[in-house]
Amino acid sequence: MIRGVVGDTIKVVFHNKTGMPQAHEGAPEDSVEPHLKHSINGYFFGNLPGLAVKQGDRVRWYVVSLGTEVDWHTPHWHGVVLKLEGRTYADVIEVGPAAMKVGDMVADNPGTWLLHCHVADHMMAGMYTLFTIGGGTPLAAQVARDPGPGWSAFHDRESATARR
């Protein structure tokens, strides 16, 4: 069961500088940054419990960014795409400081997937977790070998569906 979920809603808070001790105020930046942790819903290094939905579920993600004026986040969902604020589809979004975005997802690709921030030091400091879509076979396992030059079946879901 998903924690923080009301019906088909998941709330995800990307937070910088979790656990930053007050004793480090005024210390040189290069001595503080290695001790910072960056979290999702207060958890870091893949420990956020309960992000699981069933195949076919329609899920609304509320993504909130907390931190200072320089703390931009770029959440990336592996294995799925979101319809961002009802306008466009993406698997990576940008969220500015003290901002929120809303994305709708159809859980159509079963498996356990990575959700992380693409900012390198945020990911290195723990800003990643897993989410699971239960049931069925992952789309990648259903796609026939690509007769073309590369990964076209993974970039075009309609082609992937047609090849099943």
| pLDDT per position as a tens digit, 42-55 | 888 888 887 899 99
Q: Is 6 exposed, middle or buried (0-12, 13-18, 19+ CB in 10 A)?
A: exposed
Residue of 128, 91, 140, 133 lying closest to 112 (CA atoms): 133
- What separation in angstroms does the CA of 122 have from each of 68, 97, 126? 13, 14, 6
Distances (CA, A) of 39 to 29, 120, 121, 155: 20, 13, 12, 30
Average pLDDT, integer, range 50-69: 87
Give me the CATH topology for the region 9-137: Immunoglobulin-like (2.60.40)
Q: Can you read off the two tokens belonging to residue 33? A: 């940054």
Please give the model's pTM, rounded to 2 decimal places: 0.70
**Main-chain dihedrals φ then ψ at residue 158, nearest 5 degrees:** -65, -40
Distance CA 159, CA 163 (A): 6
Tokens of 105: 């997802």
Residue 94 — pLDDT band, cuts 50, 70, 90?
A: very high
User: What confidence score (pLDDT) does residue 10 get?
Assistant: 67
Which pLDDT belongs to residue 106? 93
* pLDDT reading at 91 higher than 80: yes
- Break the chain into its structural domains and give their ranges: 9-137
In this predicted structure, the answer to whether residue 29 has a pLDDT above a threshold of 70 is no
